[in-house]
A and B are shown apart, each in its own frame.
Chain A
Amino acid sequence: MRAVAIRAWSAHLPGQSGPLPGGWSPGPACPPERAADLLGRKGLLYKQPAERLGLCAVHRALGLAPVTGRWTPPEPDPRTAVVASSNLGSLETVCAVARTAGAGSLSDVSPLDAPNVSSNVLASTVAIRFGFGGPNLMVCSGHPAGLDAMRLAQLLLAAGRADRVVVVGAEPADETAAALAGADLRAGAACVVLEPAAEDSALVLHPVHDHADPESCEPARPVRFGQFYGAAGVLAVAAAAAANRTARVVAGSDADGWRCAVVETKGDR
């Protein structure tokens, strides 16, 4: 596998005031319930927090202005792929629907939640809104999911299955998600747009590798954002790109395994 070019990045982290570790300040971010501030009102009904955050991150990575009028999705572009990472996005809806049905109140279950009980709703929601008709993958592999998503994106580009891959990671931090994943879970999303590397690519992502031990690969002092769980790997790449410094990014856990990759800038400061 070869390095790929990083063309754009963003992070949408409600509640993050000031810089992240590594120095980057991704800027103010509306919480999921106010996603309409950025995305406009259309199409957000019954969208879960992870999808709202993910859509905001993609919107920002694409450099789009806040939507004031009516949003019309573009015609599907078959050469743009989506690889999404999230573990907990559907958890609360799934559990709530099961509890409602279990209590004998099936009629209180909304059919509009149907897409939300399927675990790939983040990836398809991004594809539908932005017209991305290429391969569409949803990675749910725990802590390394964000860098697993990067690796699958690199594979799609290497195999000529897309000219551009939008990688997006998003997690919610609702009560159900935090009860299962831990109280330090943070809601947020990040997006990185990858393309095949060219001669003059100023910023590249080298192939993602597996590592038994997060301290074992070079260079030292990795950028890590474990509390964002499935979004952590995407956020780490976005943060390294934004800092415009060659850096190692790591995501994972002892239980789920570790992945690491190097973000290299040709104009290193």
Chain B
Amino acid sequence: MATIAASAVRSCLGDGPATFAALLAGRGGAAPLRYVDPDLVNVGAAYEIDEETSHRRAGTWLAACVVEALRQADPRVPRGSVPVLAGTGLRELGAAEKWSAGAAGMTVEDLHFTGVLRETDDRLGPVVTVCNACSATGHLLALAQDLVDSGAAPAVVVAGADSLTVSMLAMIGRVAPDRTERIRPFDADRTGVLLGEGAAAAVVVPDGAAAAPLGRLLATGMSCDAAHETAPDAGGIARAMREALDRSGRKGEEVDLVLAHGTGTELNDRVEARVLREHLGENGPLVTAIKGATGHTSGASALMSLDVALRCLATGWVPPVAGLDRPAADCGGVRLVRSAPVRARPRLAQVDAFGFGGVNAVTLVGAA
């Protein structure tokens, strides 16, 4: 087992503490689309970070989070010994789209995140960019723990970032009957997903190696539905959930809190609620979700949920599902936190992350 030594977040709501405070206060970051003409993509809103950056938009925030997390953890390790696993759904494809429309300055190396991390911290080793859609950083938590557990690395940085792409906005707008104003996970009136921008980073170290541990990384289960390119599948998600429990030696009834994937789409929320009900028990753990406040930050979203889970474990407070007013009938049997924070003192939290292509990662994290 491994320990989370540090965690840094940059969302449309601010850094990790600011994001958690907004969630507790029931504030979200949905706003009219800033950088793309809404009529071109038939999408009216997003959870953008209101900041002009270089063309390496996701990379700018990713690097900032990596530097902040490393400063927090401050691992005493040799130069070049800390690998970086960088997760993303869309890399810097937003920059590539602008390049294709004539903008200068893009190189092929800018697509991935090696360049933005060069010369940020000499403890960093090789950077491997992994594009696992909306569950990228969930998968990378599994790999980071395996690297640390096997002694292959003294510490691993897991990082994730995404910014908006016109092509993904166009796909959402192309199939949506109506424009969604905000994400409303598990709500009877949910209308679909919106994209969010942001980044997050966590430092994973062996147990006992963190000066101020944030939590214990118990296990992550991974699976691929191998069923459908874009729709979730209950069987694949259940396998990831079961594997996380098996690897950590825990039982479903021990889970106190779930940070749901909760995208606010018809299908995801129904399937996720069903698997939670079947595997963690009818009206089992508290369930909350952050995307109604942060947007769907894709490759960063699992680490953002992890950061919130760690803050719940540390403070005992669980924020309500952002965007949820009236639970949907097809999402019944799960204990959704509604309207106000709950004081619950959870000890064991589960973070769900599911992505396009049927790629699932479920992480269990315990109090420090």
Residues of chain A whose beta carbon lies under 8 Å from any beta carbon of chain B? 1, 73, 76, 78, 82, 87-88, 90-91, 93-95, 97-102, 104, 106-107, 109, 111, 113-115, 117-121, 123-125, 127-128, 131-142, 144, 148, 151-152, 155-156, 158-159, 161, 176, 180-182, 210, 255-257, 259
Taking a contact as CB atoms under 8 Å apart, the answer to whether A106 and B42 are in contact is yes
Bound-state CA distance A121–B209 (Å) is 38
Bound-state CA distance A161–B107 (Å) is 36
**Option from A104, A127, A180, A182 in Cβ contact (under 8 Å) with B106:** A180
Q: For residue A91, which residues in chain B have a CB less than 8 angstroms away from its CB? A: 93, 96, 111
Q: For residue A151, which residues in chain B have a CB less than 8 angstroms away from its CB? A: 128
Taking a contact as CB atoms under 8 Å apart, the answer to whether B168 and A117 are in contact is yes
Q: In the complex, what residue of chain B is closest to A207 when comparing beta carbons?
A: B152
What would be 17 A-B contacts, judged by CB atoms less than 8 Å apart? A76-B225, A93-B167, A95-B100, A97-B166, A99-B100, A117-B168, A118-B356, A118-B357, A120-B357, A121-B356, A133-B224, A141-B128, A142-B112, A152-B143, A158-B146, A161-B222, A180-B106
Q: How many residues of B contact A (CB 8 A)?
A: 66
Q: In the complex, what residue of chain B is closest to A252 when comparing beta carbons?
A: B126
Given contacts A101-B41, A133-B236, contact A127 B108 (CB under 8 A): no
Residues of chain B whose beta carbon lies under 8 Å from any beta carbon of chain A? 40-42, 80, 88-91, 93, 96-97, 99-101, 106-109, 111-112, 114-115, 125-133, 139, 142-143, 146-147, 149-150, 152, 165-171, 173-175, 222-230, 235-236, 239, 355-359
Bound-state CA distance A82–B358 (Å) is 13
Q: For residue A140, which residues in chain B have a CB less than 8 angstroms away from its CB? A: 91, 111-112, 129-131
Q: For residue B128, which residues in chain A have a CB less than 8 angstroms away from its CB? A: 139, 141, 148, 151-152
Q: For residue A135, which residues in chain B have a CB less than 8 angstroms away from its CB? A: 139, 142, 222-224
- In angstroms, how far is the closest chain B Cβ from the Cβ of A140? 5
Taking a contact as CB atoms under 8 Å apart, the answer to whether A128 and B229 are in contact is yes
**Option from B130, B167, B223, B224 in Cβ contact (under 8 Å) with A98:** B167
- In angstroms, how far is the closest chain A Cβ from the Cβ of B297? 14
- In angstroms, how far is the closest chain A Cβ from the Cβ of B292? 22
**Option from B101, B108, B146 in Cβ contact (under 8 Å) with A87:** B108
Taking a contact as CB atoms under 8 Å apart, the answer to whether B97 and A95 are in contact is yes
Taking a contact as CB atoms under 8 Å apart, the answer to whether B106 and A94 are in contact is no
Known interface pairs A120-B132, A138-B131; 4 further A-B residue pairs with C-beta atoms within 8 A, sorted by A's residue number? A118-B133, A120-B359, A133-B236, A136-B359
